[in-house]
Structure 1
Amino acid sequence: METEQPFTGTGAFAFGEWRTPFENEALNICEIAYSSVFGSAGASGGNTESSLLRRVPEHQLTVRIAVETTGDVYRLMFQQVSAFRVLDEHGLMEFWGETTRQGGRPAQSTFRVRNHGWTKESMLSFLPTDGWSYVVATDFDCVEIVSANPPLVILEPGGEPDESGKTRGPHAT
């Protein structure tokens, strides 16, 4: 019988639950912003008035996602991030193969993983955590975050603008 180790569990690839209001929804990643003690970087051009970093400076990594079916936009705000990566969904073939081998994973769009290739390649990044990382998976891009704690999840007021510039979704104004 395998014994559970605090950092790696049994040592085998594992999926874990990460409950979110959109865990089984089709998502789009809208924006990612990272801030460190050494400076800022982000898809919106850094620490500007409209940047996620300007609005929420106490969080180290902020990911904005939109739910395709409703237009709802959520902010995932992580603290104590030791690493993160943004990949095309093809960059995570290991996850998709394990999904098949294990007969599924806890959810379609948000879940946790441990004991995968990145854990072994970048072990120092995982030491401040329990060995799990958080994954946001879409049909095009995926974000994997190594953080000691789950993020704060906030539904933004309004919704994602459609092609005409009008806001759609149940929270539209």
Structure 2
Amino acid sequence: MPNDIAREVEKLADELGIDRKRSIGEVAKELKVEAHVIRFWEEKFPQIKPEIGAGKRRYYYNKQFKVLKKIKQFLYEEGYTIAGLQKLLKKRKLNNYKDEDLDTILEVEFSEQEKAQLLAEKNQENFALEDFIISKTNQKIDDNLKMQLFANLKNAKQKLEKLKSLFV
């Protein structure tokens, strides 16, 4: 019930053009992420420019909050990588939008081609990660095999030396 009221107040404030100022803690709580995640997104998406107040406190206005919500949606719910989302935003920005229109860029639905491209990039990243893991696993197997062969050779050498001592 309180969340419904808060949403209604926020919707009304948006309609009236009232820009609400939120602290990073409030934003983190509403987005259900840690504050350090929001600061990390600021580094990755320079269009997110919070107001820095006294004591270096960060404050976000409605437009920035909407952008952060959209970024969270793409990363957490739709499974995009930061790199993939950055590429898409860069491409869209070059084609249609100004830098400060990040919220508009994020609001526009992805075309099927863009979705397919992001999915292909995501799959490529996954394959690269799998290849890396397999190579490391194979390296460990090779190392273990070498250790086993070395142990077998050492054992054979000891047996040969024992056999040799019988004849001397």
TM-score bracket for this pair, using the shorter chain length:
under 0.3
**Structure (1 or 2) with the greater helix fraction:** 2
**Structure (1 or 2) with the greater strand fraction:** 1
TM-score normalized by the length of structure 2: 0.24
TM-score normalized by the length of structure 1: 0.23
Larger Rg, first or second structure (1 or 2): 2
